[in-house]
Amino acid sequence: MSWEKALLQEAKLKTALVLDGNVRDEFYSDKFAKDGYMLLPAYLNKLFDNGDWEMVLRWDPSTILEFNSQDDAKKFRDLLVDTYDEEDDFDMGGELDVDIPKESKLDFNALIDQFSTVSSKTYKPLCLIINWSDYQFNPVGQLQDADRAKLIKLGKYSTESSIESKIRSSKLSLGRSTIIFLTSKISDIPFSFYQPDSRVKVLTIPYPNMNDRREFILRHFDDFVLAKNDESRTRADIADDLSAMTDGYTLMDLKMILELSNQVEKPYDATKLVSLYKFGDKDSPWEQLTDAKLKKLKDELNGRVIGQEDAVDHVVTTIIKASLGISGLQHSATRTKPKGSLFFTGPTGVGKTELAKAVAKFLFGDESAFIRFDMSEYTQEESDQRLIGAPPGFVGFENGGQLTNAVMEKPFSVILFDEIEKAHPRIFDKFLGILEDGRLTDGRGETAYFSETLIIFTSNLGASDESSGKKDLSKRENRISHYTAAIEDHFVNKLGRPEILNRIGENVVIFNSITSMKVKNMILKKKLKPLQDFIKEKFGTSLELSDDILGNIVKTTDPKYGGRGILNRAESVLINPLTEFLFKNKSRLNDERFISTKIVDGNIVFEIEEK
Within-domain flag for 286: no
pLDDT of 313 strictly over 90: yes
Residues 413 and 352 in one domain: yes
DSSP annotation string for 383-448: GHHHHH-PPTTSTTGGG--HHHHHHHH-SS-EEEEETGGGS-GGGHHHHHHHHHHSEEE-TTS-EE
**pTM reported for the whole predicted model:** 0.70
pLDDT score of 174: 55
pLDDT of residue 63: 67
User: If you average pLDDT over residues 543-551, what whole number do you get?
Assistant: 84
pLDDT at residue 93, rounded to an integer = 38
Q: Is the pLDDT of residue 94 over 60?
A: no
Q: Could you tell me which of 230, 132, 224 has the C-alpha nearest to residue 185? A: 132
For residue 16, give the H/E element and its range. Answer: strand 16-21
Please give the pLDDT value at position 557. Answer: 79
User: How confident is residue 40, by pLDDT bands cut at 50, 70 and 90?
Assistant: very high
451 vs 398: which has the higher pLDDT: 451
The arithmetic mean of pLDDT across residues 315-343, rounded, is 77
Lowest mean pLDDT among 156-170, 238-252, 255-269, 465-479: 156-170
Instruction: State whether 438 and 413 are in the same domain.
Output: yes
Please check whether residues 46 and 68 belong to one and the same domain. yes
Q: Domain range holding 253?
A: 210-279
CATH number at 412 reads 3.40.50.300
Q: Where a domain ends, among 205, 235, 252?
A: 205
* pLDDT tens digits for range 138-181: 655 565 656 566 666 666 666 555 444 444 444 544 567 899 99
3-class SS of residue 203: strand
Asked whether the predicted pLDDT for residue 88 surpasses 50, the reply is no
Residue of 358, 360, 381 whose CA lies nearest to 302 = 358
> Of the candidates 510, 540, 570, which is a domain's last residue?
510
State which of 205, 229, 256 marks the end of a domain.
Answer: 205
State the Cα–Cα distance between residues 607 and 568, nearest whole angstrom: 23
pLDDT band at 33 (very low <50, low <70, confident <90, very high): low
Number of structural domains in the chain: 4
153 and 295 housed in the same domain: no
Question: Are 239 and 321 members of one domain?
Answer: no
My answer on whether 357 and 430 are in the same domain is yes
Q: Above 60 in pLDDT, residue 210?
A: yes
pLDDT at 599 over 80: yes
Query: Is residue 284 situated within a structural domain?
Result: no
| CATH at 119 | 3.40.50
Q: Supply the pLDDT for residue 497.
A: 86
Tell how strand 200-205 and strand 178-182 pair up: unpaired
Q: Identify the bridge partners of residue 340 per DSSP, sorted by sequence position.
A: 454
Residues 50 and 188 in one domain: yes
Rounded to 10 degrees, what is the CA torsion of 397, 403, 404, 409? 120
Judgement on whether residues 229 and 273 belong to the same structural domain of the protein: yes
Q: Do 74 and 189 fall within a single domain?
A: yes
pLDDT (tens digit, 9 = 90+) per residue, 212-232?
Answer: 999 999 999 999 999 887 777
Domain CATH for 564: 1.10.8.60
Longest dimension (CA), the chain: 114
- The DSSP-derived string for 28-69 is E-TTTSSSSEEEHHHHHHHHH-SSSSSEEEEEETTTEEE-SS
